[in-house]
Every structure is written in structure tokens, then in C-alpha cells.
Chain A
Amino acid sequence: MNVSYQWLSQYVDLQDVDSRTLAELLTRGGVEVDAVESRNAGVSEGVLVGYVKAREKHPNADKLSVCTVDVGAGEDLQIVCGAQNVAAGQKVPVATVGSVLPGDFKIKKAKLRDVESYGMICSAKELGLNEKMLPKEQQEGILVLPADSEIGRTIQDFFGLADEVLELGLTPNRSDCLSMLGVAYEVAALLGRDVQLPEVNGALSALANGDLSAADHVKVNIEASEGCSLYSARIIDGVRIAPSPQWLQNRLLAAGVRPINNVVDVTNFVMLEYGQPLHAFDRLRLSEGIIKVRFAREGESLETLDGQVRTLQSSMLVIADGEQAVALAGVMGGASSEVTAETTRILLESAKFAGAVVRKTSRQLGLRSESSLRFEKEVNVDAVMAALDRAAVLIAELAGGTIAEGIVSASTATTDPLTVGIKLTKINDYLGTSLTGTEVQAIFERLRLGSQWSSADDAFQVTIPKRRGDISRDVDLIEEVARLYGYDNIPTSLVYGDTTVGALSPAQAVRRTVRRTLAGFGLDEVINYSFTHPQKSAVVPGVYGDKPAVKLALPMSEERSVLRQSLIPHLLDVVAHNRNHNQADVAVFEIGHVFVTDEEKLSKLPEQPLHLGLLLTGLMQSAQWLQAGRAVDFFDLKGVLERLLASLGIFDVTYSLHAADGFHPGRTAQLTVERNGQTVVLGVAGQLHPQVQQEQDLADTYVAELDMYVIASLVDTQIAYRALPRFPESKRDLALVVGREVASSTMVDVIRQVGGELLQSVQVFDVYTGEKIDASKKSVAFSLVFRHDDRTLQDEEVQSIIERILQALADTFAAILRS
């Protein structure tokens, strides 16, 4: 809603309140003003209405003309003009020498092809007017003003440019401020002043036509009561369609509504004034004059004012003349009964259509109008008749008609005014204030809410006017009190009650540890979108199998049409993005939800596990002056995972070679642990399949995806202290030659088993393949540490265990001690 300051000041005294102050007042009161714009884009005083007395061809230029212009200054001005449409006898805007146009364009005396020019005849654009709001014929060339425009009048005054427009950013509850009067009530309440309503009744009787009864020319029938609770109509006869007077056009222009003709302009003016949309039918183009408010028949068609033929649905409300639909109720009129230049008799409609019905119709047709916008939010039923009378008077005044006797109306529901009770203590308890009954009463009075205060009951009975449909409960009244009292005046306090202990849940704490640990290892944290392309979702299918993705019903693009099932595809996008910025070394992680379902169409919420994704590619260590760069490999990834999981107390993870689509079959592991006899899968880690790498134009890339909920369930934060050893340890290294296919972890298992309690630790410290041994073999070197808790071990004891270990390794793997 765009509110003209000058227009608003017709209803509330704003003499001591400028537009900026007003904007601040409204914003702080809860009606946010997004912007205050001057209507004057920069037209100075010396731009005047001029009269073109004569136009002659420029002697030296085909496209120019030399005009003699009277601007009421005594002496006529000679002005060279380049516009094709300039003609003698026109009234035009003239920027005289010394005046300024928008863009700080100063008008000087000029010589154009040897002819002197004392000013400039202006187009609408040069005046900074919004051309789109003007009739077509005023958009091209110089702006031709009405013939009756007063010569010498300033253009500022002519277009009412000494005005500011407040752009309201209204919240859905304050649809009462979709009208000048609604804003006036609000401003009056905030300032504690009166509202001056338009005077209608006197004019109404003056313009009445006693010979004509509305009832003879229109009947009203509401057949769909759920769509319309009140329909009223007047007949205005003998109108002459013409452009509206400039003051009315200026009001509409200020509000951003395009002037059309006097009748339509009045309906729009009154809509803006009262918030009540009106519609004017050409009565003589309606064949029967029997208005029926009914739902459309499925498939029924109607040509609307915008020239489009609409196919209607049975949920849409129409106004029919007899059987024929002639308007889409509350949304747009029909072409067949549109007011035209020939119209003489007007049927003026003012009604209350149900918000939900209008909203649905407007949505289904993709057709929104100033009218539908207001009906959707429920118009004020008390303004229906008032707006009808106001518009009838203005039409008769401006279009020269008379008003037929009486209103023809039908209503299906009348509602008593709502009364809401509230106790003073509740107000104060709720706000933390200590207002008195008198103070609250004064606030209700400023808001023009009828209130009765009973000090015995400590309670108010408040009658809510229909224009404030947003007030229906006690808390709504509390908000009104708080608003008017001023949110700034509410004290600050802290919640009473028992102290509560705040904390992260264990799973949340684990998440923080994981993030910090990974950042500490040098991985950067990323956050990627949850929406993805259906094909992207299938890049690394191995993580989630081939379940269907959750699809958006109306995606904004195919690129973002399904929910991700894995974190990996977007991590690959991160690599691509950084590669495009010359950064090939990427080590990143993300913790985020993925979405898993078995259903093609969801009947219940999908599973939404929280995953941890990691990606390493390029150099693990970048080349530096003292060390060469080193490319990432599987063991960098595994090292990160091992250290991460160990820091969470998860030490017993098994990494087993794992075949998964999209992964390198020889360089991918599944991570599992055994708990209570069950194998629990943590996730998968490995190199992308070389084919995927090639398709995605990636270097060797290692990725892992783990389930954070599983990890959280395995976390063991209990630290069991063990006394420091008192006896020395005995250390032995063994290098064993085995077949290349033997997994080192299985050798460790055997060593541990045979080593028993005395074997404190066993670690692989070297793996060798090459010239010195058979090509089908590898040498694996282990470092073994033995210790007894209560005494020093004898060499012979250790030696005997070593021999047993060697024997077992020989038996199991045909391992030979490397000499």
C-alpha cells in the first residue's frame, strides 16, 4: 500500500508531523514503512503549464519546430521543440529558462540551428513521471495536458508533486491498512487525534434522482452464501465517461494506480479510501439486470477485462446477469459489461466476498488484482455500504449523473459486533507492566475500540469494530495496548522459576568434537545444498544402493529437484568449483542430513540420517622450500578416520575390502565394528572409481561417508586409567615374507592371539615389495613389545613366544622370516 502524505492529511491533522516523522511513528507502532519517496523526481518551480500559440517549421532543420508559447508571464516565449506531436492550441509543460528538471538538468537559453530557444517543452519522462501509469497517448512525445489546464500554473502544483508517498510493508494481519481510512485510524490512534471521515449523506440526497428507483433496474440474488455474505448495488444514470479531473488522477498516481476514466477511477479511488473494492458495470450492457452471485459451472468460460477468455472451475465465484457470468467475483470484471466511452448508466457493485474463495480463484487463475488482494484478507463489512454511497456520489459529481433512489442489496449473514473481555491483571502479568485501568482505557479510546471498564471485576469489555478483523482474543488486545503504550516502555526482566541446566546432548557434543578434530587435521568444513539433480544423486550409488530419491512436487529447477541421498556428489562439486579457481588441493568435510526412502511417493516422512562426508584430493602436503609435495592416498584418508574415531573412543573398527558402485574396487573399505554379536556398519571409505574420476574430470579423489548417528551410538568417553609400568619392556622386530594377497590385519590377529597377555602391542612398521624378493611376495615388518606387569621378562621367555608366533604365521600364511 502506497500512502500519499497529502491525501492522508485530508483525514488526520498532520500539520506538525512531516512525512519522515510519520514514517517513523508508523514503523515504531507496527505498520512498517519500507520507504518514503517524494512524488517530485526533481521538477523545479519554473516548470509551468504553457499554451502553444503557434508552431512553425524550423527554417534549418526538418525535425524541429519553433513554437510560440504563452506561460502566463506576459511575454510569449520562443521555444524550439523536437517532438513530432507538438501542435498549436495545446497545453503543455514548459521548463522555462533557469528552471531545473529531474537529473539536475538546468534549462538555459539555447540556440538550435541558429534559432534561439527560451525553454523546453517536456515529455512525461522528462518530468520524471512514471509513464507506465499514464494513458498511452500521454506516453509518447511531449506531454499534452487537458485543454482546460490553467496557463502559468506550476507543474509541481498541477501534478501534486509536493507530496511524499509512504510505502507500507504490511503484515498479513493489518489488512485494515490497505485503505487510506484504515491508515488514518492508525495514525490518529498513534497521535491521539481525530479522524475526519468523508461527508457523503448531504451530497447523496443532493444528487438523488427521485424519478428513478434502483430496484426497478437491478435485482440481487445470492445463491452461494458461503462465497458472499453481502451484496449491494446502486444505479447511477446519465453519466458521461471522460478523463477524471487532475486531482483525482494525482491521487491515483500517488497510490500507483493508473487512471482510466472518471467512473473506473472513482471505483479505484474509493477502494483505496475505504479498502472496499467496487465494480462498475455498464447497466445497459447487462441484458437482464438480475444479479446472481453463484459458483461457476465447471468449464464455464468468461472473457475478463484484460481480454483473456478464462475457463472456470466450480470452486470459483461469479457474478451472473441472469444465467450469463459477467464477472469473476472480487477478482476481475467481465469484458461484456465493461464501462466504455458510450456508457451512460452504471450499476455499481459493493460486496463482501469470502476471502478464502477469492484467494483460491485468484490462485487457480494466476490472476491477482488490487481487488482480490483486499477480498482475500476479508474486507470490512461495515464499509461495504459506506463505500458504495461514497462512490455513487463521486461518480455523479464527476461524471455528471444522478443517483437512483435506494440501494438494492442481499445479505446471507449478519454478525453482531465482537466483544472481547480482558482483565487488567492479565494485561500487566502478560507484559510485565503496571498499567492502571485509566491508562488502558485511554489506549482503547485512542484506537476507537468501545470499551467498558469495571473496576470491581478489574475487567474491560471491549467492542471490536469490524475494520479490525485481526482482533478477536484477549492477547490481541494486549498487543494493541503494548503497541500504543510503546514496546520501548515495557521493562526488561528475566524469567522467574527454577534454574535449569543447559547442555548439549551427547550426540550434539560428539558432532562438535568431530568438526573440531577434522578441522585440526587440516580439513575445511563445507555446507552444501540439500537439493540436487536426479542424475547427480546417482554419481556414487554405492553409498545408498538404488533407492528412490525424495522428489520435490514443484522444483524451481531440475538442478534442484530431488533431495540428496549422499554427501559425496556435492563434495565433488566443491572440488570442481575450487579447481576452476586454480585450487586443486582440496581436503573438506561436511556434516549434513541425507534423505532416504523406499517409497516413490511419500506416505510418511523419509529417513533423514545425519552423515559425515570427507573428501581428499590433490596434494596432502603442498610443496614447500624444504619438502616436496605429496599426493593424497588411501592411507591419508584412513589415517584421518582412525585418529578421528580413536578420539571418540572407537578403537576396534574393521576395515574390510569393499565393492561398491562408483568406488575403486581395490581401494575401498567398509568400516564396521562388532557390538553385542552384531556387525554395525559405520560407513565406507575409498578412492572414487577411475571411471567416475575420468567422467567428472577429477584427479585421484578419496572420499568417505559415515553415519553420525551410528558414530554417536558407539562413542566411549570413559577413560580407564592404567598404572604406569614398573618393569622394562622387551622389543622385537620381525620381517616376514608372505604372499601379496595376505591382509596385514589378519597377520596382526594371529600375532596377538599367540602373543597372549605379555604382548603389549604389535605394529606394522614396514611393507616391502621389489627386487629383493619374489614378485608374488611381500615383506611385512612388525614391531612387537612384550612386558610383564610384575617382573622383568627373561630373554628366553620372549624368544619362546616369538618362535611360537613364527610357527603360527608359517602355518597360517606360509610366512617365512626374512633374513
Chain B
Amino acid sequence: MRERLEALQQAALADLQNVETQQQLNDLRIQYLGKKGELTEVLRGMAQLSAEERPLVGQVTNETRKAIEDVIEQKQALFARLETERRLQSETIDVTLPGRAVRAGALHPLNKIIEEVEDIFIGMGYTVEEGPEVEQDHYNFEMLNLPKDHPARDMQDTFYVTEEILLRTHTSPVQVRTMLAKKGEVPVKIICPGRVYRRDDDDATHSHMFTQIEGLVIDKKVRMSDLKGTLLQFVKQMFGEQTQIRLRPSFFPFTEPSAEVDVTCVMCKGHGCRVCKQTGWLEILGSGMVHPRVLEMAGYDPQEYSGFAFGMGVERIAMLKYGIDDIRHFYTGDLRFLRQFARL
């Protein structure tokens, strides 16, 4: 009996060795271990054994069963693993194909610059003020120390609607309106972004409509050194910590002293390049101390209060920052242009 069992075990293990499919494995399991299988067959002979032999043979039988079952289990595990591998293989996709498109639009580059500038000045305690684009001559010129027939009006050739109504040539009338609304209260700390209009033929660097951001501070004891300090802080945040400013005397009818402000060239960091014409500097701001006439007209006593103002062209900053070569691109709505700015 024992011999038969051992022979059975050997035969089973030999068969199992060569099993290659799940089906073969199932068949062998039934062949050896099934209800009508060979092991059962052998066990039927147990009835003829003596009581002493029985436990012993029973033990051997269990060992045989265990040995076969173990191998079957191993094989089973192997097949399961192979099956999984096969499935994973068949499920493999081309991960290099593009993902399902999610639409993302672009904010306009000019508005991106405006927001950046606004946020810097908001951080410095400024509020953002706005005003009408179709404006009165009174606010656009007269209240800014530019009476009718003033030669400096030539600096900003103007689109008129009537003799008294025009398209604003700068956002300065917003400063005037704000000062008048404040009725002499201080401090005034505002920036004014907006569209402005001048009679220019459109070309790569000129546009009849463009965008300005101006700033105004009025308080007691505002000094020109404060203007320099404020602008320095602004340009460092806008263009990088290493940026420096350089002021040059200039003229605006509404400021005295007036200054053009150059910043370290954003392209070459001041070493000199084509963009800055080898000077290392770029002119980007106009500024000055608010003219006493302007303060007076807006209801602030120039003996008591002083202030500074500054202004910049948003297109110029955007063109420098992004390396754009033609101002007209901002206004044609060309998606090939706009989509380049679909980034935060």
C-alpha cells in the first residue's frame, strides 16, 4: 500500500512537472485528487488493512496528498501570475499619445502687466482709481496746468469730439477727479490704469490707442526722495531685485521738478545691448513732483501739501518684458499671439 502511494506520488509529481495550462492542471487535480481519482482509489484499499497499519498508512496518505496539493498550489500561483502578466500586457496603452484636451484661455498680456503693477502698488497701500475715456478738456488739460494754446499741448496731439470734449490723452484726468473728490483730504495714494488716445499713425511702435498707468501721492511733506524710493521699490519688484533706476531732468506741465526714469535694461541687465542701444538703461517712466498750480486747482494748498506723480506705458513694459516687436499685435486679436500668454 505504501509502495502504491509512493508510486502514485511520484507519478503525480512527474505529471505535474510537465503541466503547461490551467486546464491540464485542473485535469490532473481531478485525476489524482478527485472523488474518483487515483488517491481515492488507493484509499479504498484501506478497509483491508489492520488496525495497526491504518494510522500509519493514513499518515502516508496525507503526506502524499499534501505533497501533490502543494505542487498544484505552486502551479496555480504560477498560472495566476502569468495570467495577470498577460492581462497587463494586453492592457498596455501608448502613454505618449496626447491627453484629452482641457481648454485653457489666455489673459491679455497688457492686462497681465496691469495686474502685476496694480498688485505691487496695492501692496504699498495704493488704491486703484478709474475714470472716463471720453473726457472734458477741463480735466485732461486745463486742470493739469495746460491752458488752451499752451505749447506743450503739442506733445500730445489730441482726438477731439467737440471743442470741450476729447479722448483723454493720458490717465492724469483721473488724478484730477480723484483729488477733487477727496476735497483736500490726505493722504492720496492712487494708481490709475486705463486706455488713452493720441493722434499717431499706427506703426510698429506707435498706436493711436494705448494703455497707461499713472500714480499719485499727496500728503504733507512728500519729497522728491520719496518719489525715487517708491519707484525704486516698484522696479525691483517688477523687474527683479538687481534693478536700479536713474532719473533725468525732463518736462511735464503738471510736475516740477520733472524726471524721466530709466531702469536697468531688462534684456542685458545693464551690460549694454541692442534693446538699450548699448546704454544699459531703458526709459520707462515719466515722473515728478506735482506742480503747485495743479495742487491749487485741485483744492490742495501747495504751502502745506506736496506730492509726486508718475506714469508709464503698459505696452512698452509688455514689449520689453516679453520681447514683443510690434505694438499692433496687442490689438489684432491674433490667437497665435494671444495663446502664448496662456500661463499664470
A522 touches B104 (CB 8 A): yes
- Name 8 A/B residue pairs within 8 A (Cβ), A-sorted: A359-B151, A490-B228, A496-B219, A508-B128, A520-B104, A527-B331, A551-B161, A588-B335
A605 touches B226 (CB 8 A): no
- Chain B, 116-153, contact with A by CB distance < 8 Å: what is the 0/1 string? 00100111111110101111100000000000010110
CB contacts under 8 Å to B, within A525-551, are 525-531, 550-551
The answer to whether B334 has its CB under 8 Å from any CB of chain A is yes
- Chain B, 288-308, contact with A by CB distance < 8 Å: what is the 0/1 string? 010110000000000000100
C-alpha gap A552/B105 in the complex (Å): 34
Listed stretches B31-39, B53-61, B68-76, B249-257; interface member:
B249-257
A529 touches B331 (CB 8 A): yes
C-alpha gap A498/B186 in the complex (Å): 10
CB contacts under 8 Å to B, within A375-405, are 376-377
| A30-B249, A526-B338 known; A602+B165 contact, CB < 8 A | yes
Q: Of residues A433, A494, A550, which shows the largest number of chain B Cβ atoms within 10 Å of its Cβ?
A: A494
A577 touches B162 (CB 8 A): no
B160 touches A553 (CB 8 A): yes
C-alpha gap A707/B229 in the complex (Å): 40
C-alpha gap A28/B152 in the complex (Å): 21
B195 to chain A minimum Cβ distance, whole angstroms, is 7
Closest 10 CB pairs of A and B: A522-B103, A432-B225, A30-B249, A574-B333, A171-B251, A479-B257, A432-B223, A502-B122, A500-B125, A492-B229
A377 touches B225 (CB 8 A): no
The answer to whether A583 has its CB under 8 Å from any CB of chain B is yes
C-alpha gap A622/B207 in the complex (Å): 35
A527 touches B110 (CB 8 A): yes
A528 touches B333 (CB 8 A): yes
The answer to whether A309 has its CB under 8 Å from any CB of chain B is no
The answer to whether B155 has its CB under 8 Å from any CB of chain A is yes
C-alpha gap A491/B133 in the complex (Å): 37
A704 to chain B minimum Cβ distance, whole angstroms, is 15
C-alpha gap A174/B233 in the complex (Å): 31
- Chain B, 144-182, contact with A by CB distance < 8 Å: what is the 0/1 string? 000001011011000111100101000000000000000
B residues within 8 A CB of A432?
Answer: 223-226, 228
B interface residue count range (under 10 / 10 to 19 / 20 to 34 / 35 or more): 35 or more
A502 touches B134 (CB 8 A): no
B330 touches A476 (CB 8 A): no
The answer to whether A413 has its CB under 8 Å from any CB of chain B is no
The answer to whether B197 has its CB under 8 Å from any CB of chain A is yes
The answer to whether B50 has its CB under 8 Å from any CB of chain A is no
B residues within 8 A CB of A456?
Answer: none
The residue on B at minimum CB distance from A570 is B333
- Chain B, 222-265, contact with A by CB distance < 8 Å: what is the 0/1 string? 11111011101100000000000011111101001111100000
A interface residue count range (under 10 / 10 to 19 / 20 to 34 / 35 or more): 35 or more
B133 touches A608 (CB 8 A): yes
B257 touches A478 (CB 8 A): yes
Which of the residues B195, B209, B249, B334 comes within 8 Å of A483, measured between beta carbons? B249
The answer to whether A769 has its CB under 8 Å from any CB of chain B is no
B338 touches A479 (CB 8 A): no
B residues within 8 A CB of A608?
Answer: 132-134
B333 touches A573 (CB 8 A): yes
The answer to whether B107 has its CB under 8 Å from any CB of chain A is yes
The answer to whether A675 has its CB under 8 Å from any CB of chain B is no
A373 to chain B minimum Cβ distance, whole angstroms, is 10
Listed stretches A77-85, A291-299, A624-632; interface member:
A624-632
B residues within 8 A CB of A531?
Answer: 208-209
The answer to whether A430 has its CB under 8 Å from any CB of chain B is yes
The answer to whether A420 has its CB under 8 Å from any CB of chain B is no
B19 to chain A minimum Cβ distance, whole angstroms, is 42
A504 touches B165 (CB 8 A): no
B159 to chain A minimum Cβ distance, whole angstroms, is 5
C-alpha gap A473/B257 in the complex (Å): 11
The residue on B at minimum CB distance from A593 is B133
B256 touches A479 (CB 8 A): yes
CB contacts under 8 Å to B, within A162-189, are 171-174
C-alpha gap A322/B143 in the complex (Å): 44
B224 touches A430 (CB 8 A): yes
Which of the residues A431, A524, A583 comes within 8 Å of B225, measured between beta carbons? A431
A residues within 8 A CB of B165?
Answer: 602, 605
Which of the residues B230, B292, B330 comes within 8 Å of A527, measured between beta carbons? B330
B334 touches A577 (CB 8 A): yes
Which of the residues A476, A504, A581 comes within 8 Å of B336, measured between beta carbons? A581
A residues within 8 A CB of B121?
Answer: 502
A525 touches B128 (CB 8 A): no
The answer to whether A108 has its CB under 8 Å from any CB of chain B is no
B257 touches A482 (CB 8 A): yes
C-alpha gap A252/B317 in the complex (Å): 40
A355 to chain B minimum Cβ distance, whole angstroms, is 7
Which of the residues A502, A526, A589, A624 comes within 8 Å of B125, measured between beta carbons? A502
B314 to chain A minimum Cβ distance, whole angstroms, is 11
A281 to chain B minimum Cβ distance, whole angstroms, is 28
Which of the residues B247, B260, B332 comes within 8 Å of A577, measured between beta carbons? B332
A residues within 8 A CB of B232?
Answer: 492
B190 to chain A minimum Cβ distance, whole angstroms, is 9
B106 touches A524 (CB 8 A): yes
C-alpha gap A529/B289 in the complex (Å): 33
A residues within 8 A CB of B132?
Answer: 605, 608
- Chain A, 465-508, contact with B by CB distance < 8 Å: what is the 0/1 string? 00000000101101100110001101111111111111111001
C-alpha gap A430/B98 in the complex (Å): 62
B residues within 8 A CB of A508?
Answer: 128, 130
CB contacts under 8 Å to B, within A580-632, are 581, 583, 586-589, 592-593, 595, 601-602, 605-606, 608, 621-622, 624-627
15 more contacts with CB within 8 A, not counting A430-B289, A608-B132, are A30-B248, A172-B152, A360-B149, A493-B223, A494-B226, A495-B189, A502-B125, A503-B122, A504-B128, A518-B105, A519-B106, A522-B102, A556-B201, A571-B333, A602-B165
The residue on B at minimum CB distance from A573 is B333
A112 to chain B minimum Cβ distance, whole angstroms, is 43
B165 to chain A minimum Cβ distance, whole angstroms, is 5
C-alpha gap A99/B232 in the complex (Å): 53
CB contacts under 8 Å to B, within A414-441, are 429-433
A28 touches B134 (CB 8 A): no
The residue on B at minimum CB distance from A499 is B125
The residue on A at minimum CB distance from B130 is A508
B229 touches A601 (CB 8 A): no
Q: Of residues A431, A497, A581, A608, which shows the largest number of chain B Cβ atoms within 10 Å of its Cβ?
A: A497
The answer to whether B47 has its CB under 8 Å from any CB of chain A is no
B199 touches A556 (CB 8 A): yes
The answer to whether A29 has its CB under 8 Å from any CB of chain B is yes
A376 touches B105 (CB 8 A): no
The residue on B at minimum CB distance from A582 is B336
C-alpha gap A485/B223 in the complex (Å): 16
A residues within 8 A CB of B219?
Answer: 495-497
A475 touches B292 (CB 8 A): yes
A32 touches B248 (CB 8 A): yes
A residues within 8 A CB of B228?
Answer: 432, 490-493
Which of the residues A173, A479, A550 comes within 8 Å of B134, measured between beta carbons? A550
A272 to chain B minimum Cβ distance, whole angstroms, is 20
CB contacts under 8 Å to B, within A311-361, are 355-356, 359-360
The answer to whether A109 has its CB under 8 Å from any CB of chain B is no
C-alpha gap A626/B104 in the complex (Å): 19
The residue on B at minimum CB distance from A476 is B256
A515 touches B229 (CB 8 A): no
A residues within 8 A CB of B162?
Answer: 553, 601-602
C-alpha gap A626/B98 in the complex (Å): 9
| A359-B149, A574-B333, A605-B165 known; A552+B104 contact, CB < 8 A | no
A624 touches B101 (CB 8 A): yes
Q: Of residues B97, B230, B259, B333, which shows the largest number of chain A Cβ atoms within 10 Å of its Cβ?
A: B333
B124 touches A502 (CB 8 A): yes
C-alpha gap A16/B175 in the complex (Å): 46
The residue on A at minimum CB distance from B252 is A171
CB contacts under 8 Å to B, within A10-62, are 27-30, 32
